A and B are shown apart, each in its own frame.
Chain A
Amino acid sequence: MRRYLAPAVWLAFVAACALIISRTPFTADMSAFLPRSPTPTQQILVEQLRDGVVSRLILVGITDLPQAQLAELSKDLAGRLRRNAEFTAVNNGEQADLQKDFDFLWRNRYLLSEAVTPQRFSADGLRASLTHYLDLLGTPLSALAQRVLPNDPSGELTYLLDQFEGQAKPDRQHDVWFSRDGQRAMLLAHTRSPGSDIDAQERAMHAVEAAFEQARRARPELAPARLQMTGPGVFSVQSRASIRDDAWRLSLIATLLVATLLLVLYRSPRVLALGLFPVASGALAGVAAVSLGFGSVHGITLAFGVTLIGECVDYAIYLFTRITPDTTPQRTLQRIWPTLRLGVLTSICGFAAMLFSGFTGLAQLGLFSIAGLITAAATTRWVLPQLLPAGFFVRSDTRFSAALMHAVRFAPRLRVPVLLTVLAAALFLTLRPGSIWNDSLASMSPVSKEMQQLDGQLRRDLGAPDVRYLIVAGGADQQSVLQQSEALTAILRRQVQQGLLENFDAPTLYFPSRQAQQARLAALPDAAVLRQNMQTALTGLPFRSGLFEPFAQDVAQARQQVPLDPAALRGTGLGLKLDSFLIRRASGWAVMLPLTGVKDPQALVDAINIDAPAPVLLLDMKQESERMFRDYRREATRYAGLGALAIVLLLLASLRTPRRVALVCLPLLAAVTVLSAALVLSGLTLSLFHLIGLLLVVAVGSNYALFFARASESEQEETRTMTSLIFANLCTVCGFGLLSLSQSPVLVAIGSTVSAGTVLSLIFSAALIARKSL
């Protein structure tokens, strides 16, 4: 019965892991990239990227038809989407979009216009405005001036509209937005769900596609139209889909390849299945451990964790290929266990450093791989030998063995060329100007270059320049941040005049605080005074008498108004703008003022803070996000370095002499150096994903080096060791090499790094580790 104790414990363990996983929440948002103790600006940045209005935008382009038909399609599509509950707003430049905003501004002009002061409604103030109108009546704008004049002789509407004057607007043709070249009709859809809710974003995308199909099919001449979509949510959906599809498709092919390979080797389907036990139980244990340790598991951890423990597939190979006809699995295992154990410990050292990372994503990956490797090694050690069929051993082909051993004996002759190559690579990397690392958001983006370019094109065409600088002010409640925004508006106006920046936007330009609204109501004179002032103002001007009766009525009506609250803006374009810049946060509220044309950011924020009622933050979206990813990558590099140090110490403790440690480390160092140089030479700059790949090369390669460095008892054992290594490497190359065929830049980076790196590790181990000749 003892024989079944280990498998029984193992089964119970696997069941427990599965139970934990079934209750685990999985996340897929930006939180993995958020440091555990973020700075206030980082916190805001991540909130914005995750839930902000910007994250909810879908940019839509329609092409491949004549303009008039594109415009028709744009209107039809927008109409369909406006009726869909997934979207809070759909803009395509149509009059209807503007009309709501226009009506809102017109109805509430005396509350919203900052120009409303007692002076403006005095006889002098009104006369100045009327004289101005008179001049305007001579210009081409006469018809418009006449329309608003009887109701608005003080010019509040024009003042309000003036606030939008400086803002870029998309081109319009046939009453809808078009790209600058007139080839593409443009729409903007705002999703109800935040960008981080990928499932909801996917529903929204499908809704756009379905509506487009219906609109396109409505008339035969619209059939050639094509739809383009970009935006943060679209990118998340596409990259998830491409990683998922590629991962599925490529892993399926890889599994088939590896399985075929191993079936040829083992000649037993049962053994083949057993070989998957370590990696499968390792993955389960990894997820369960992260779930217990962090409360939730991030998608990134899941995707890369499984690749990180990919070396566990090798464990079974090492065991199975070593079994000879005259030894039991247990005996074989006892013989290879010291080396295997050291290999596992080496990998654990490499990954353990990540556990202490300040970034949740890295820490989760660290925990995942440690739990996974330990479980996989334990499964190999205690479960597999019990379950192997009696009398199992791998029959090796003699010609294959002979060829393999010939190659292995030849390898040391390559020592000098290899060392020269490594030296050249090291020189290249150190002497090369500039960093080999790329920390831009684009390099981290899981989206293809073409999609990034399309996105940039659509954004330019929509006249929505990338907002880089934001002034952020916080407060306890909505009204207090609105008041801060008003104070900041006054300061920023002065700075625009001083030339410190070109322009800015503030929510209070079109939605003032309650306090300001009350002050404006108080500035409106009563009916008698207004009539008197108007009469004085009109003296000598040619306006027909009685013309301004509507003005008197509107002002009297405005005096009865109560201050508006933000809910009044719901359903208008202004409301969306307000929502994007006036934000409810976990504690209190924040207001954001986008700036354009900033010359010296630091000088600007210093100047603001001299006059501001409370200190403000300047958020540089570009710099802040790049800094965050650079910190992330730097920390990963630092921990990888610490991990390397730990590996050396571990090897020293285990192998005892520095010479033997150097012997094991040299091939790995050589592989990493040559591979990095090759990647940089091929025109790439390295991203975090290459770093993860390199870590993996060290983890897998260290096993090769250790087996090489270990003296064999017999020639037969030597052959079996080499066979196991070559098959382990073949499996790795199959698996990871296929990943590099993926559409996703992330999978390509990891796939190519690992497959090339492990091959180099194996060759360099053979070349550089002198074996006692037999």
Chain B
Amino acid sequence: MRLIVLAMMLFAACSACAEGETAAPEARWDVARLMQRLAQVQHAQGQFVEKKYLRILNKPLESSGTLIYQAPGHLEKHTRAPKIESLVLDKSTLLIDSKASGKRRLTLQDYPLLWALIEGIRSTLAGDVATLNRFYQIKLDGDISRWRLILIPTDAKALELVREIRISGREDRVSEIETLETTGDRSVMSVTEDRVETP
């Protein structure tokens, strides 16, 4: 099934994000510090389990697989169960390969909302506070040993879809990503790090 044009039509509604949104990093020295730590990670790999709680379903959708991150902007998500699916994000290109959607290549700029969602995760991993500020208002809870970032979209259109993204972690590692949608749907992805790091 091909939803790309539809995706474009719906996403197109969101013009490419409010630029120059301000959240001066100096004022949040803790965010800046966290980002600095995250920015130093060159490579990370882990296993994920994702649960999607959707209003339209009477039980959660569960999937699992591998996540691979390579600094500064390369992210891969390989789902093994229940269906094999792979997402490869490199710079502004997203390659999707799954049985449901077929093989396709998307340019993020064409899909502003999807871009915002993806950048919330990728820019956090990359410690790219400038990009994060473009899309989100950032809040930080906790301390270095157990922190939680809360990202709230700044764009009105994005807010219609996503209420907030919560990313939790420990030191320079991310352990959970929770996405809360405006409709009440949510998804929780827990990540367990494979400690086989290549510098």
Contacts and interface: CB of A to CB of B under 8 A. Distances in A.
Contact of B100 (A136, A149, A545): A136
B1 A132 contact: yes
A142 B58 CA distance: 16
Interface string B83-114: 10101000000101011110000000110011
A98 interface: yes
Contacts of A175: 12, 15-16
A543 B9 contact: no
A697 to B, nearest CB: 58
A102 B9 contact: yes
Contacts of B100: 132, 135-136, 138-139
Nearest to B62: A138
- Which of A136, A139, A148, A162 is the most central at the interface, judged by chain B CB atoms within 10 Å of its CB? A139
Nearest to A133: B1
Interface in A148-187: 148-150, 155, 157-158, 161-162, 164-165, 172-175
B24 interface: no
Contact of A174 (B8, B16, B85): B16
A141 B101 contact: yes
Contacts of B61: 134, 137-138, 542
A274 B178 CA distance: 95
A704 B113 CA distance: 79
B3 interface: yes
Contact of A140 (B1, B94, B110): B94
Interface residues of B, number: 44
A350 to B, nearest CB: 61
A155 B1 CA distance: 8
B14 to A, nearest CB: 8
Nearest to B57: A542
A140 B87 contact: yes
A138 B15 contact: no
A145 interface: yes
- Which of B63, B87, B101, B114 is the most central at the interface, judged by chain A CB atoms within 10 Å of its CB? B101
Contacts of B83: 135, 138
Nearest to A135: B100
Contacts of A139: 85, 96, 98, 100-101
Contact of B2 (A99, A150, A161): A161
B59 A140 contact: no
Contacts of B85: 138-139
B130 interface: no
A143 B3 CA distance: 11
Interface in A171-222: 172-175
Contacts of B7: 141, 144
Contact of A161 (B6, B16, B19, B183): B6
B133 interface: no
A547 B56 CA distance: 7
A143 B83 CA distance: 18
A544 B57 contact: yes
Contacts of A173: 16, 109
B2 A158 contact: yes
Contacts of A142: 52, 54
A663 to B, nearest CB: 74
A543 B56 contact: yes
A137 B52 contact: yes
B5 interface: yes
A95 interface: yes
A304 B13 CA distance: 54
12 contacts: A135-B83, A135-B98, A136-B1, A138-B52, A140-B114, A144-B7, A157-B6, A158-B3, A162-B5, A165-B2, A165-B5, A542-B59
Given A140-B114, A162-B5, A542-B58, 10 more contacts: A133-B1, A135-B98, A136-B1, A138-B52, A147-B10, A149-B56, A173-B16, A173-B109, A542-B59, A547-B56
Interface of B: 1-10, 12-13, 15-16, 19, 52, 54-59, 61, 63, 79, 82-83, 85, 87, 94, 96, 98-101, 109-110, 113-114, 117, 161, 181, 183, 185
5 A-B pairs closest in CB distance: A135-B100, A161-B5, A175-B15, A136-B100, A542-B57
